[in-house]
Amino acid sequence: MADTDYYKSGSWNLQCSICGRKLKADESVRNWAGQWRHIRCNEPRQVQDFVRGVPDDQSVPFSQPLTTIFTTVNATFPAKINPNPVLLTSLALTVLDENSLNVLDENGQTINSEGGETGSAQVILPDWVNPTEFQWSWASGGVGITLLGSNESTVYLTAASGPVGGIIQCLITNNLNGTALVTAVVSS
């Protein structure tokens, strides 16, 4: 029989949170964390828990207000797209027979292959402009037309079949962060 296995009026058994042995409630103490334990198992709270840091004031005694030394300049420049309008030309080829003669349909018309349409457009800039970026996109239309080389000064346009059209645009940025936006009509 353990030393706590007896009746004591107004007390009860509990387990020490450190050693795990039984003890009577009136023989226990509550530590700073709220746990019950033997008096011999209790330890004081670490004194470093009460240390508070010293506020570090990093403000300066005086400062100079901000002044505008440099101003921002919107460095625009002239640009144009050549050709304007951009005409897509057919890639269709005449179908030839084994004797290199044109193949005709039942109406006597020459049969052409299904080749689609192609074209190109180029941005023309003055010599003093140093472009850093070209962004070709469609301002409107352009359904069914693919842009190849959309980050170059020249863009190639291909379409599976016509008629197609739209308005192509190019945003040019130079080394001074100036911009120019040019547009051209595309049709087949």
| Same-domain check for residues 38 and 121 | no
Encoded tokens for 52: 């508070």
| Same-domain check for residues 37 and 130 | no
Distance from C-alpha of 154 to C-alpha of 164, rounded to nearest angstrom? 20
Tell me: pLDDT of 114 over 80.
Answer: no
Cα-based torsion angle of the residue sequence 74, 78, 83, 84 in order, rounded to the nearest 10 degrees? 70
Read off the CATH number of the domain in which 97 is found: 2.60.40.10
| Same-domain check for residues 1 and 91 | no
Tell me: pLDDT of 67 over 90.
Answer: no
Tell me: pLDDT of 171 over 70.
Answer: yes
Total domains present in the chain? 2
- Domain carrying residue 32: 1-44
pLDDT of residue 134: 93
Tell me if the bond preceding 65 is cis, omega within 30° of 0. no
Distance from C-alpha of 159 to C-alpha of 173, rounded to nearest angstrom? 28
| Same-domain check for residues 181 and 99 | yes
| Same-domain check for residues 103 and 161 | yes
Tell me: pLDDT of 93 over 80.
Answer: no
Gyration radius from the chain CA atoms: 43
Tell me: pLDDT of 12 over 90.
Answer: yes
Tell me: pLDDT of 4 over 60.
Answer: yes
| Same-domain check for residues 95 and 159 | yes
Tell me: pLDDT of 37 over 90.
Answer: yes
